[in-house]
Amino acid sequence: MKYVVGIDLGTSGVKVLLTDEKGTPQASARAEYLPDFYEGGCVEQDPEVWWEGTLKALKALFKENPDTADKVGAIAVSGQMHSSVFLDKAGKVIRPALLWNDTRTSKQVKEIFDLAGGKEKLLDMTCNLALEGFTLPKILWLKENEPENFARLDRVIMPKDYINYRLSGEIATDLSDAAGTLLLDVKKSDWSTELCEKVGVSPSILPKLLPSVGVVGNVKADVCSETGLKPECKVVCGGADNSCAAVGNGVVKAGQGVVSIGTSGTVIGFVDKIESEVTGGVHLFNYSVPDSYYAMGCMLCAGEALNQFKRTFLSDISFDELNELGAKAPAGSGGLIFLPYLFGERSPHNDPNARGVFFGINGNTDKGCYIRSIMEGVGFAVRDLYEEVVKFTELKEVYITGGGAKSDLWGQIISDILGIPLKVLNISEGPSYGAALIALAGAGMAKDLESAKGDCVKVVKEFAPSGNTEIYNKYYELFRRLYKTNKENFAYLKEL
């Protein structure tokens, strides 16, 4: 029996997943860590923390599953997007990495738009808008604020690339992660030398590009000694966490997409070719399936809206009881509408000032109405994302995953709001499982990602529209109007 390992390198921990050569999960292990938060929206992590966590998790995995390490044929990593690892000529880390949720770079974002020649020109070069979380603003921040460190800069890579570097000694990145730097010409699948020139960044600091299933190298001897892996074990490039999560949730060919309701929320759709007008309403990135793309709409607050309400007002009841109360309320929650913009919003508004709103409270509004309105408000925001994603691809098969998928009520509400069936899969590993499938394909243990998925991924439940779609269509139009009419009020609140 041969195995592969998929690694999910997150912000608060690393998870390693062992699967057999047929893609069946066998065991997993995890190591925890935390980022460092500072004033001014600064969030950093020392890449050494990631490496130590990865080694700890791998050792725990193989300790609990002896006689597997020497049979692992490949490893692939899924990593947090955008976060910047700055290396010098010796391959040493210059300073802690600036993370995806670091927002200190507002000045540099404005500079990028100006230097690029405006929004339309930037979209033409990269298919994406500049945001504080992306990698390019972080490079410019380093150049302007830490010139001594910038002078030492030889290479910029992403978190999963650093793990691959420590595993293999080789530096490379894949297209799905490169797309999140804002320096990739997504349509051409190559670094944008035009944008590099405009913003004053040398292409020489950017790593070699590979597909997600490309092989970076083999595991180094010292890592083999420490973990029990064999030198024949391949290090497959892997991909960005959202890309790997979509692969792990069954999105491996045209017509497929996935709705994820976790702390935040996403809608992702497989895109063969970028043929529609690019407006910046969603991200357009290269996908882990070779020669393809994905459209991704991202909302900043999904499941966390319900969690926050429960913590504040209903901490004494279980989530099952919460669902029971919500199920007693009618579709439309008795006229109560919730805007889930607790932390601002990304797609489709790109508005950091947006905030949460309950609209339509009346004398009959009870606990169930509040609960259901939160679920419906998140569902309406999901529809905002879905409407943008389907501008680039026709979705015929859509999966739903995350904590929201575990609630029959919430899954049903979202199916009704979208007016489409939503399928739940038996696999809930997400990014680590997607990375494992990428390892199988990259090592030649599977023909491609669809073959790697095989018979292991099965539909175990389906939500189908129940008849509430028509009433939700009407409430959705009001939901959309509420953001537009409050946009200026949100900005004024920010000033206050």
Determine whether 384 is an active site residue.
no
Q: Do 284 and 404 belong together in one domain?
A: yes
**For a pLDDT cut of 70, what percent of the chain falls above it?**
100
Question: 100-156 pLDDT, tens per residue?
Answer: 888 899 999 999 999 999 999 999 999 999 988 899 999 999 999 999 999 999 999
| C-alpha distance from residue 464 to each of 249, 373, 394, 468, 475 (Å) | 19, 20, 18, 11, 19
Among 34, 80, 30, smallest CA distance to 59 is for 30
Q: Do 326 and 185 belong together in one domain?
A: no
**428 has pLDDT over 80:** no
Q: Do 225 and 299 belong together in one domain?
A: no
Q: Do 286 and 417 belong together in one domain?
A: yes
**357 has pLDDT over 80:** yes
Q: Do 357 and 471 belong together in one domain?
A: yes
Is residue 484 domain-resident? yes
Domain-terminating residue out of 225, 244, 263: 244
Domain-terminating residue out of 244, 268, 288: 244
How confident is the model over 281-293, as a mean pLDDT?
A: 95
Q: Do 236 and 371 belong together in one domain?
A: no
Q: Do 357 and 487 belong together in one domain?
A: yes
Q: Do 212 and 312 belong together in one domain?
A: no
Give the total number of structural domains in the chain.
2
- Mark out the alpha helices in 14-134 (DSSP H runs): 47-64, 106-116, 119-126
Domain residue limits at 255? 251-426+466-496
Is residue 459 domain-resident? no
Q: For residue 196, what pLDDT is reported?
A: 97
d(CA 77, CA 239): 7
Is residue 433 domain-resident? no
Higher pLDDT, 287 or 41: 287
Q: Tokens 């490893």 — which residue?
A: 75
How confident is the model over 154-179, as a mean pLDDT?
A: 98
Q: For residue 341, what pLDDT is reported?
A: 95
Is residue 175 domain-resident? yes
d(CA 293, CA 271): 5
Q: Do 125 and 263 belong together in one domain?
A: no
**377 has pLDDT over 80:** yes
Q: For residue 9, what pLDDT is reported?
A: 96
Is residue 164 domain-resident? yes
Q: Do 361 and 215 belong together in one domain?
A: no
Q: For residue 105, what pLDDT is reported?
A: 93
Distance of CA 157 to the CA centre of its chain: 17
Is residue 437 domain-resident? no
Average pLDDT, the chain: 95
Is residue 461 domain-resident? no
Q: Do 198 and 322 belong together in one domain?
A: no
Q: For residue 78, what pLDDT is reported?
A: 96
| Catalytic position from the list 161, 241, 384, 416 | 241
Domain-terminating residue out of 244, 269, 286: 244
Does the pTM of the predicted model rise above 0.75?
yes
The string over 286-317, giving b where at least 16 C-beta atoms fall within 10 Å of a residue's C-beta and e elsewhere, is bbbbeebbbbbbbbbbbbbbbeebbeeebeee
**246 has pLDDT over 90:** yes
Is residue 435 domain-resident? no
Q: Do 188 and 136 belong together in one domain?
A: yes
Specify the CATH number for the domain of residue 326: 3.30.420.40
**347 has pLDDT over 90:** no
